[in-house]
Amino acid sequence: MRKYLILFLFFVGIIFLFSKLVSKKPLTFLLIRENGDVFYKQLPGDYQKVTTDEMSLPNKSHVKTLEGQAHLILPDNSLVSLDKNTELQVEIQDNSTYITQLLGNTWHRIEHITKGKAYQVETPNTVAAVRGTTFAVEISRGALAETKVLAIENTIEVKNYKEENKKRIYISKQLLTQGKIARIPLRKQSGLDGKFASPPPPGSQKGLTTENISSEIMNSVWFKTNRTLDSQLKTKFRLDILRKRKIPSPTVTIAPTIITPTITTIIFQNIIKTTPISSTITIAPTPTPSPKPSISLLQLPLFPLRKLILSPTPTFIRLR
């Protein structure tokens, strides 16, 4: 009897685990195209152009913008805004979010982080771990190539690192408070020794510098646009707000109706006169018609132009 009970419990456990695996939905996130050209890819495939305003993407998908902007709504309802010329990958593990940003500007709004979970953004030389609610990450290229992390609200933990012998070595760590920006230069390494070819900036912590967010940054279009969106999202459901922000279809302006007068009715002035109504009505005798003389068309008098009123009939022009 005990043997059968053990077998029964074993099969019940197998069925329970199988049902959990079957009922578990695949992880996805929502991509909303705001404007311009936006692309996505699923490894090992190539980038494909987004042809709809909204689409669901599977976990570990890549998203890239050219002259366009987009938003990502993650499973925990966090929101990521992508500027033009931005590329990243989203990976979700056990309710933790890991974003690898390769290029461009992103703006992150964290809904809620439970204890033991994580939300971090990784660039080619920096890891930003979230302890706050709103922050931004910018990667610039060229002569002043660097990673910038902006603490918009609350605090962000910033760590810069380097790759050495295929291993990641963290150089320094900084707690970034609200209103501060961290700058980490994307400096080239010299040869096989893993050392930087150029020394860290003066007063920096091994290449990582912090300062107040400048007025130039705060007055930029990207910064001001996202701060406006931040305030809107605090009062309304974010998906509705994002849908309203999408670029509307071109507005077709209908030209005013053109009325072309046509001579269809001629009314003679002073022919019909208003006669006051009286209590006595006198019926005049019917006059005896006199013979009509024969008149040629050339002898008919011409009505003066001032005696004519044109009664216009409206002509409607339909725009195609």
Q: Which two tokens stand for residue 138?
A: 């910018």
CA distance 105 to 162: 21
Positive or negative torsion for Cα 186, 187, 191, 194: negative
pLDDT of residue 295: 46
The confidence score (pLDDT) of residue 182 equals: 96
N-term to C-term CA, the chain: 85
> Among positive and negative, which fits the CA dihedral 168, 172, 177, 181?
negative
pLDDT of residue 275: 44
Query: Three-state SS string across 265-319, please?
Result: CEEECCCCCCCCCCCCCCCCCCCCCCCCCCCCHHHCCCCCHHHEEECCCCCCCCC
How far is it between the farthest Cα atoms of the chain? 135
CA distances, 164 to each of 67, 118, 123, 174, 204 (Å): 35, 25, 16, 21, 21
Task: Please check whether residue 308 is in contact with residue 266, taking contact to mean a CB–CB distance below 8 angstroms.
Answer: yes
What 3-state DSSP class applies to 31? Answer: strand
Determine the Cα–Cα distance for residues 98 and 59; give it in Å rounded to an integer: 11
Output the six-digit token pair for 41: 């890819």
Global pTM?
Answer: 0.65
- In angstroms, the CA 210 to CA 212 distance is 7
The structure tokens listed for 242 are 């994002």
Question: Within 10 A of 31 (CB to CB), how many other CB atoms are there?
Answer: 23
- Which phi and psi angles does 18 have, rounded to 5°? -65, -40
Q: Can you give the residue ranges of every domain in the chain?
A: 25-245
The closest alpha carbon to 170, from 136, 129, 212, 119, belongs to 129
Within the chain, which residues score under 50 in pLDDT?
20-23, 189-199, 201-204, 247-254, 260-279, 281, 295-320
Candidates 2.115.10.20, 1.10.150.130, 3.30.2350.10, 2.60.120.1440; correct CATH number of 25-245? 2.60.120.1440
What is the model's pLDDT at position 263? Answer: 41
